[in-house]
Amino acid sequence: MGKKGGALALFLLAGIVLGVYHGAEAWKAPVAVEGAQMALSEPTHETNYFADLQIDPAAHRVTGTLTVRFQPQDDRAYFHLYPNVFQSQADMGDPNWERILGKQREPGGMEIKQVRVNGKEAPVQVEGKTKTLLHVPIPAEKNAKPPHAEVEMRFKLQVPYNKGRLSYNDHAMWLGNWLPILAVKEKDGWRLDPYASIGDPFYSQVANYHLRVMLEEKYQLATSGVESVAVVTQSRPQRVTTYEIDAWNVRDLAMVVMDESYRKMSGKVGDTVVHTWSQEGDDAGTAERLHEVGQESLRYFSEQFGTYPYKEYDVVKTGGFFGGMEYPGIVFIQEDLFERSDPSGEAVVAHETAHQWFYALVGNDEVREAWLDESLSDYATMAYLTAAKRPGASFYIQMRKAQSQESLSYAGRGLTVWQSVEQFPDWNSYVNLVYGRGSTMLWELREAWGEERLHTLLRQYVKEHQYGLATGERFVSMLSQEAGTDAAPFIDYWLHLKQEKQEEAAAWLEKSKHE
């Protein structure tokens, strides 16, 4: 598909925004937005990760020690070992994996050694169909008030080659969902969901991270933490740089290692430093526009949904074919978006920036309620594009509305917006339902209520759940409360695809306008 004329296909793949812009004009400069005072992020959570890492980009390898201190909720703990889904014996031949990973790929995985619990060697087990769970027994401690556990493990990560979130190319290595991370325990038990081939099948709680990273000095580093205030030391004659980096109150930690071909543009939004990482040879105008959108959308969302608490935000060019992927304080942006003059890259950056609120600050179950963060983030993208008066905004909204209408055809197949990622048969159904249908529902609400009323509700939602976990049930409850009437018919029609509820949904929306 050429860069000029025709339709530019942009599929939204799980935090992964690609869409369709039919002959969209080049976008104008971002709308000016008043500056906001940002809150500083300080450690507030009792779970702490300490990682001592040695990174070898040439060998595509990370080795090190991870120590996790936390309050146990059971006589065991589970850690997700997501990289093991890419082992050589893994069955990844289904079309949904192929779409993300590509046909040319090399295996990888994580080896765990010498696990200790409170200083004593522990008989751990690697479990799950794809060996992506580490089962760690937690012995009871007498007189420990409150009970605590310290799990220490040595590991070796061989980074796979593919088109996904964890991979590398000749110039960079991007590490998404790579570090062992504690599973969530709910009142009904442990959530040990596998790494599914559709969506972002991740579910985690906020913690504090401290990293010590050793890296050859010719490489550069961007993480979920704050590199701009990191303690950096250099060793001679080894030519190794050691970084001491903190990331407070984040529900995951991602990292990109880059060679000397990378350049960064920097700016500031309130108290947050914004870096955009591109490469020599990238279109300078495109890189500048993506940098502007990263800053301006961060400012807009701060004003609309609550101040951004993290001190640094990195927008990083990576390889892969996933459009964009969100992590706290850092987002990965697919490489070809830095080489195109159309507005698709700007929509991707805005969408991933919106995820800093709807996923990073306000967590949710991305396995069973993927719509909650994706629909809210895509609605926020639409709101930003509209506020910025970008020529592509109208087309983007119409694209989502068309996907929403198409989604009604899935009702006869028993599919809904509100279902587990494992229930979607393919990426197209996931995109049309979770992105198109969910964001259009919120846009309809905006058109009935007005931006100010809807955004007041979203600000309250963020305030109530910041650093915590939200649920779809709670969001619907807040919607009902604001409307003054039970939102069930509206949700049934839009999210559960009950077409017989269309008139009731319209009546609810009309009534809610006057409450």
The two three-digit tokens of residue 273, written as one number: 């430093």
Query: Checking DSSP bridges between strand 207-216 and strand 48-56, what pairing results, if any?
Result: parallel
Q: Are residues 116 and 236 in the same domain?
A: yes
CATH number at residue 238: 2.60.40.1730
Mean pLDDT, residues 366-370 taken together: 98
Which residues are CB-neighbours of 198 under 8 A, at least 6 positions away? 14, 96, 421, 422, 424, 426, 427, 430
In a domain, 286, yes or no: no
Active-site residue flag, 352? yes
Beta bridge partners of 7: 22
Instruction: Report which of 303, 282, 23 is spatially closest to residue 172, judged by C-alpha positions.
Output: 282
Mean pLDDT, residues 440-458 taken together: 98
Q: Taking the mean position of all CA atoms in its chain, how far away is CA 121?
A: 34
The two three-digit tokens of residue 73, written as one number: 């909720």
Q: Which of 161, 310, 435, 493 is catalytic?
A: 435
H/E element, 210: strand 207-216
pLDDT value for 26: 27
Specify the range with the lowest mean pLDDT, choosing from 10-24, 356-370, 463-477, 483-497: 10-24
CA atoms within 13 A on the CB side of 426: 8
H/E element, 175: strand 172-175
Q: Are residues 375 and 254 in the same domain?
A: no
Q: Are residues 246 and 382 in the same domain?
A: no
Contact call for residues 65 and 210 (beta carbons, < 8 A): no
Measure the CA–CA gap between 247 and 49, rounded to whole angstroms: 10
In a domain, 324, yes or no: no
Q: Are residues 240 and 110 in the same domain?
A: yes
Q: Are residues 44 and 183 in the same domain?
A: yes
Active-site residue flag, 384? no
Q: Name the burial class of residue 66, with classes exposed (0-12), middle (13-18) and buried (19+) by CB atoms within 10 angstroms of its CB.
A: buried
Mean pLDDT, residues 318-329 taken together: 93
Could you tell me the pLDDT band of residue 35, with boundaries at 50, 70 and 90?
very low
pLDDT in tens, 142-194: 666 667 899 999 999 999 999 999 999 999 999 999 999 999 999 999 999 99
In a domain, 349, yes or no: no
In a domain, 56, yes or no: yes
Measure the CA–CA gap between 113 and 176, rounded to whole angstroms: 21
Q: Which of 335, 352, 366, 369 is catalytic?
A: 352
* DSSP-H helix ranges across 196-343: 284-305
Instruction: Report which of 399, 373, 379, 363 is spatially closest to residue 451, judged by C-alpha positions.
Output: 379
Could you tell me the pLDDT band of residue 21, with boundaries at 50, 70 and 90?
very low
Query: Checking DSSP bridges between strand 312-318 and strand 330-334, what pairing results, if any?
Result: parallel
Say if residue 8's pLDDT is above 60: no
In a domain, 2, yes or no: no
H/E element, 315: strand 312-318
Verdict on whether the full-model pTM lies above 0.85: yes
What are the phi and psi torsion angles at 461 (to 5°)?
-60, -45
Domain of 193, in residue numbers: 40-260
| Chosen domain end from 205, 240, 260 | 260
CATH number at residue 438: 1.10.390.10
H/E element, 249: strand 240-250
The two three-digit tokens of residue 439, written as one number: 């964001």
What sign has the CA pseudo-torsion 267, 269, 272, 278? negative
| Chosen domain end from 260, 277, 293 | 260
Q: Are residues 76 and 195 in the same domain?
A: yes
Binding residues: 351, 355, 374
Measure the CA–CA gap between 249 and 245, rounded to whole angstroms: 13
pLDDT in tens, 379-426: 999 999 999 988 789 999 999 999 999 999 999 999 999 999 999 999
In a domain, 219, yes or no: yes
Q: What is the domain count for the chain?
A: 2
Binding residues for Zn(2+): 351, 355, 374
| Chosen domain end from 241, 260, 279 | 260
In a domain, 47, yes or no: yes
Q: Are residues 64 and 212 in the same domain?
A: yes
